[in-house]
């Protein structure tokens, strides 16, 4: 009788665990099981809430349109969802990737993915030092190494490897801060700008990013989407501090972005050739955002220059979004939420182009095709 009871309990335990892992591993169908997100404030989902940093989005009205939080700020640098949030929804990820530094980033939750992105972070370790604390890409990859070992414990090494390689996607949105909050900052970067011309600086960025992506590959990452740098010379902050006219952008910042983006395209082609079994997709965010800025009326926007939340200058682009900021009356008519970041309305358009768009904006395949490999 005792043996029969023991066998029954053993079977029940086995079925319970099979059901649990079926929800997170086996029974995913065509959906993406996990999204691992790296980068900066464009995709930060709240990591900076847990850092002593000047780069924060944990106060209203940030998050005012984020339904999952009831309109409360979560640390996302926008009024609603980030591009990565929307991409995850479109590809069937069961829930938003939990911020790595959040207290609940443990146990089965991490099987839906983890967000390591950090406002102010960059490819280079020196980037964002003016914010005091931030997570650069090297640290973010270190943190994934910890997550990787946790997934081994949850699923077993063989299943974990299969899960990472074939049911997960790795999203990297980084590089803007290396220009905006490093190379282009006069006080913080005098030494860099004296010792390195733009070519040398971009070389340094590409060398570091190559090593970071290769490390992720060595930890079984196989499906990557890497965003290039957007038109950083056209954001409200740059237009405001340089007192530009409506249709103008800062030439130096634009030229740096274009130069880096050309090198990034070559890097991803190199990695596709050299890292067996990997697929690196280039998200052409630069051209996507340029299209929105140039033809904003076509997409239902009223302005692509003025920040919805912010103050200072012609474009409300000098003082970051916070509780005392001026807030626009129609948030879905603005391409930019604050002096630096797109609104949720813009993020929706950008994300859907990356998921189902053509090779103008995402190549060699789009993200739905990447998921279905």
Active site (annotated) includes residue 325: no
Active site (annotated) includes residue 338: yes
Q: How far is CA 60 from the centre of its chain?
A: 21
Own/partner pairs for 260-263, CB < 8 Å, 24+ apart? 260/175, 260/179, 260/202, 260/205, 260/206, 260/228, 260/229, 261/228, 261/229, 261/286, 263/202, 263/203, 263/205, 263/206
Active site (annotated) includes residue 276: no
Residues whose CB is less than 8 angstroms from the CB of residue 363 and which lie 6 or more positions away in sequence, other chains included:
281, 282, 284
98: closest CA among 81, 118, 75, 114?
Answer: 114
Enter the tokens of residue 338.
């604050």
Enter the tokens of residue 75.
């640390």
Identify whether 364 is preceded by a cis peptide bond (ω within 30 of 0): yes
Contact 62, 79 (CB under 8 A): yes
Q: How many CB atoms are located within 10 Å of the residue 82 CB?
A: 29
Contact 78, 70 (CB under 8 A): no
Instruction: Say which of 168, 176, 178, 341 is annotated catalytic.
Output: 341
Helix (H, G, I), strand (E, B) or coil at 270: helix
* Rounded-to-integer distance, Cα 24 and Cα 33, Å: 7
Pairing state between β 34-39 and 309-310: unpaired
* Rounded-to-integer distance, Cα 135 and Cα 141, Å: 10
Instruction: Say which of 118, 278, 338, 343 is annotated catalytic.
Output: 338
Residue with tokens 């972005």: 257
Instruction: Say which of 41, 118, 168, 176 is annotated catalytic.
Output: 41
* Rounded-to-integer distance, Cα 118 and Cα 55, Å: 9
Q: Catalytic amino acids? A: 41, 338, 341
């Amino acid at each position: 009788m005792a043996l029969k009871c023991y066998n029954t309990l053993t079977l029940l335990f086995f079925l319970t665990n099979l059901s649990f892992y079926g929800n997170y591993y086996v029974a995913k169908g065509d959906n993406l099981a996990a999204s691992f997100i790296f980068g900066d404030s464009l995709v930060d989902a709240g990591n900076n809430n847990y850092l002593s940093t000047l780069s924060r989005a944990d106060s209203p009205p940030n998050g005012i349109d984020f339904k999952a939080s009831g309109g409360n700020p979560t640390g996302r640098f926008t009024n609603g969802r980030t591009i990565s949030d929307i991409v995850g929804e479109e590809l069937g990820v069961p829930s938003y990737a939990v911020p790595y530094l959040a207290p609940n980033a443990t146990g089965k939750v991490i099987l839906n993915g983890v967000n390591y992105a950090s406002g102010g972070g960059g490819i280079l370790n020196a980037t964002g030092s003016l914010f005091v604390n931030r997570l650069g890409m090297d640290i973010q990859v270190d943190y994934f190494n910890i997550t990787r070992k946790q997934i081994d414990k949850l699923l077993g090494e063989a299943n974990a490897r299969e899960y990472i390689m074939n049911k997960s996607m790795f999203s990297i949105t980084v590089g803007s801060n290396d220009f905006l909050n490093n190379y282009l900052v006069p006080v913080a970067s005098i030494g860099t700008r004296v010792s390195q011309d733009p070519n040398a600086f971009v070389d340094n960025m590409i060398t570091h990013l190559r090593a970071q992506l290769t490390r992720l590959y060595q930890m079984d990452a196989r499906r990557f989407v890497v965003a290039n740098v957007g038109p950083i010379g056209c954001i409200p902050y740059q237009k405001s501090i340089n007192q530009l006219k409506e249709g103008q952008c800062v030439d130096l910042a634009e030229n740096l972005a274009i130069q880096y983006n050309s090198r990034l395209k070559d890097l991803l082609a190199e990695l596709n050739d050299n890292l067996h079994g990997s697929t690196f997709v280039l998200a052409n965010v630069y051209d996507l955002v340029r299209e929105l800025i140039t033809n904003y009326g076509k997409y239902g926007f009223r302005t692509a220059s003025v920040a919805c939340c912010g103050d200072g200058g012609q474009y409300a682009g000098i003082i970051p979004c916070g509780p005392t900021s001026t807030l626009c009356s129609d948030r879905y008519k603005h391409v930019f939420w604050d002096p630096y970041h797109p609104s949720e309305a813009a993020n929706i358009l950008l994300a859907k182009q990356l998921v189902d768009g053509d090779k103008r904006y995402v190549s060699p395949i789009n993200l739905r095709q990447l998921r279905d490999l």
